[in-house]
Amino acid sequence: MSSEEGGAGPEIAPEIAPEISPEIAVVIPAFRQPALLEEAILSVLASRGPRRVAAVVVDDGCPMPGTRAAALRFAAAHPGCVFLLRRANGGLSAARNTGIEFVLRAWPGCRAVFFLDADNRLGPWLLHRAAALLEASGPATGWIYPDFDFFGIPEHASAAGEHSLFMHLLENTSDAGSLVSRRVLEAGLRFDETMRQGFEDWDFWLRAGAAGFRGRHLPMAGFGYRRRAGGMRVEAERRRVGILAGMRGKLRPLAHPRRLLALESAEVPRFLLHRSGLPVAEPVVDPLRPSRPALDRAAARRQLVEAARHPQAVHAPPFLLFAAAGALEVLAGWRLLHNALWHAEIMLRGADAVGIVLAPGPAGRLGVERAEGLPDHPALLLYRTEAWQEAAALGAPFASAARRGATLRLTVPDAPALPDPRPEAEAEFAGLVDAFATRHPERGEWRGDWRRPRSRAHLGYAELIDAGAVLPWAAPDARDVALAVPVFEMGGVERVLARYAGVLRDRGWRPHLVLTGAQTALVPPDTLAAFETVQFPARGIEGVDPNEAHLGAPLPGASGLGDGVLRDAVGQLAPMAAVLATHARGIHAIAGALRRIGVRTAAGLHVVEREAAGAPMGNPHALLAHEADYDAVAVVSEGLQNWALAQGIPASKLLLVPNGPGHEARAGAAESALAARQGREGRLRSLFLGRLDPQKGLDRLRDIVALTPWAEWRAAGRAVLAREPEPIPGLTVEPPAEAEGVDALLAWADVLVLPSRFEGSPLIILEAQRMGCVPVVTRTGAVAEMVADGVDGLLVEERTDPAVAAAFADRLASLAADRGRLYALARAAGARAASLPDWAARMSPLLAWLDAGQDAPPDRPTT
């Protein structure tokens, strides 16, 4: 079928039908360049070597008769070596694809195809040298690419170095003029015929890379690339931004954060890790999961030297990491290793060196703190490799490699004394100075190199996924879930997240605790064991914008922090499969960015907050403004579910995950507590247990205590969000108790008193019922879903504060006077608690949502 007939199929002239099977086919698209086409064909015919070569000219509907005439003339003069195909005009990609289809069908013995544009030329030995290299390489090598030797406007550019798909995502390191293995083409790879404005070859190589193939560089290949003032290449550069946006949109699975981290680990790792006492250096992204072989120290130094000389061709990790013996294990044990390295990377933007110090803290207390200057006794040291290379090349003293220093102080319980890694770092620097001094002098590189240094690969995340420093977490699968919360002080919300984490871990997920507003956290050992990492922010992203509000509630103020802070926050969460942001208002500012890079997003809603005067406040109303950026909203009660529906959140997004007790009770503890209540006499034992915050109605509690002098009172709790505890006259506020201590208090008490102004689903009510402690609470939030008034607890209606206090005093007096009723309520409360489902059953909607995401395409979050 000819182009004049309007078809797209090739026409093969009968007089030049294939008679022999070449080993290498050169496909030459031809359009409007008949004279230059002859030069291209001649360069193919001039190829030397033992392999048979054929040229396949694809006339892409060229209106110039000279194109067809030239191809037919060569075909007649060189039968079996030159062939002509004709097709309707479809563009460069379509012409190449036509040639590919012909070669695959006509010549089963053809092992590779070279794509030669009609205005370029081949050196005589290029095809055979490239074929020999392709044959000597493993099956993963899909193509052989040359340097760029331009003629016309002369220039010589290097493409040397090991092929990196990560770097190829950032810039096109292979020209279309490359030799492609038949394996690649038989895998279905073709040029995108919709791309007619340029970069179609870049797109082809990236899709080949996504299919598992890699390129390999052929030095001194002899490929001649004609360069003129105009042409497709120049036009493509003018349209670069738009073309790349479309191209990368198609390749989103390849640029998924987890895929990028795997590529970075395998090709251009971020850290060169020196463990004290070991003779090797390890190129890593994630120190727990190395992807490249370790190098002996001398080889690692030589690589640093070569990378300084040829930064575009040889990779040197941008950061040197020196770890004292046992330091990595200690940090990993406290779940802080990856967060510490992420913090250090950010700090190294303004410093040459960062020392990480382990500082002892109280039980369960973790934290991070930054300071200027290097510490006296670090456990880990990180240096900018570039500063080391510059200083060592000059033979400068060790101190000159760390003129600007900073300290990252990590608070951990029982911080061990570790060796100082500085002597080893000094010795390694001295070895690098010697390596520079003994390296042969440069003979002078005559090729230029337009590519970015490989050591800056980690900066490419900003271009590829619009993220800053990406958490160095290279997990083997998509089973990581971030549980984000502003603070973690073992309040009700935090204890819920701890229970979530335990269930998630049992189901094969890796939960990560992410703080968005605090630099310290209270994480008891049993809670810590459920989390994979603990992540503190480089800069808190909580806060409100005083000038923006939604439905009267201030919106997140994170946008005022600047793009750099938000990009780093995106990078911190980028390796996650999903993020559950529980009252973490700062996540609203980045939820949309996370969804765009394939991280599934859910918001956790525990309570609708309001000010004392009743005005809306806090996360829930801000969430409504950002609801479109979330795939799901998890609510802890039917009341919250109804509120969310009334506010316009689609029912399909809502996941009902009812609260349960915040900890497991010791076996037999509930039964023993209930048995001890029978026949108990004496004063009514009244207990307040909760956060010492205004929400809990502490001013009301003071009035209730004053109205019930005949009761015996205890109170336990702590302030959250850095508020000072409000004094409760006549009561000693005990420090927060461990789980057994909480149950001991509940077993002691007859009643739990909660005069809260607003609530969600307080865990302490369920824990009290389990121990037979009767809840006497304000009817607010989802409390009525947890307590049947007069059956397993007592509810007090909301009204003015004096009336509330008086009503509480009346309820308590009635129980003090009727011990039989008190015991009946206690038994009913215990029975209710015993009948409730476990946490795994409660979490089933959330677990199902997470599991459904495992079957979704990585570039398209499900809703």
Q: Is the pLDDT of residue 9 over 70?
A: no
The third-level CATH classification (topology) of the domain covering 480-656 is Rossmann fold (3.40.50)
What is the chain's mean pLDDT, rounded? 89
N- to C-terminal Cα separation, the chain: 48
Write the pLDDT tens digit of every residue in 117-144: 999 999 999 999 999 999 999 999 999 9
- Token readout for 199 is 């970069």
Query: For the ranges 1-5, 171-175, 773-777, which has the lowest average pLDDT?
Result: 1-5
CATH number for the domain whose boundaries are 3-250: 3.90.550.10
* Predicted confidence band of residue 240 (pLDDT cuts 50, 70, 90): low
Please report the pLDDT score of residue 71 as a whole number: 95
Q: Is the pLDDT of residue 598 over 60?
A: yes
Task: Write down the residue that tokens 């677990």 correspond to.
Answer: 847
Please report the pLDDT score of residue 696 as a whole number: 87
Q: What is the mean pLDDT of residues 750-766?
A: 91
Write the pLDDT tens digit of every residue in 626-638: 999 999 999 999 9
Chain-centroid distance, C-alpha 122: 44
Q: Do domains 480-656 and 669-835 have the same CATH topology?
A: yes
CA 149 to CA 283: how far, in whole Å? Answer: 33
Predicted TM-score (pTM) of this structure: 0.90
**Choice between 566 and 442, residue whose per-residue pLDDT is larger:** 566
Stated as kind and residue range, the H or E segment containing 283 is strand 280-284
| Domain extent listing, the chain | 3-250, 257-440, 480-656, 669-835
Q: What is the mean pLDDT of residues 698-704?
A: 91
Write the pLDDT tens digit of every residue in 465-501: 999 999 999 998 999 999 999 999 988 899 999 999 9
Q: What is the mean pLDDT of residues 360-371?
A: 95
Write the pLDDT tens digit of every residue in 242-291: 667 777 777 778 889 999 999 999 999 999 999 999 999 999 999 999 99
Q: Do 234 and 152 form a contact (C-beta atoms < 8 A)? A: no
CA 48 to CA 710: how far, in whole Å? Answer: 108
* Predicted confidence band of residue 228 (pLDDT cuts 50, 70, 90): confident
Stated as kind and residue range, the H or E segment containing 407 is strand 405-413
Strand duo 353-361 + 380-384: pairing: antiparallel
Write the pLDDT tens digit of every residue in 311-343: 999 999 999 999 999 999 999 999 999 999 999
Strand partners, 632: 602
Residue type, 25: A
Q: Do 793 and 811 form a contact (C-beta atoms < 8 A)? A: no
Superfamily the domain 669-835 falls into: Glycogen Phosphorylase B; (3.40.50.2000)
Please enumerate, as own/partner, the contacts of 704-710 that have beta carbons within 8 Å and a separation of 24 or more. 704/753, 704/755, 704/805, 704/808, 704/809, 704/812, 705/729, 705/730, 705/731, 707/805, 707/806, 707/808, 707/809, 708/684, 708/809, 708/812, 708/813, 710/683, 710/684, 710/816
Please report the pLDDT score of residue 560 as a whole number: 64
Q: Do 257 and 598 form a contact (C-beta atoms < 8 A)? A: yes
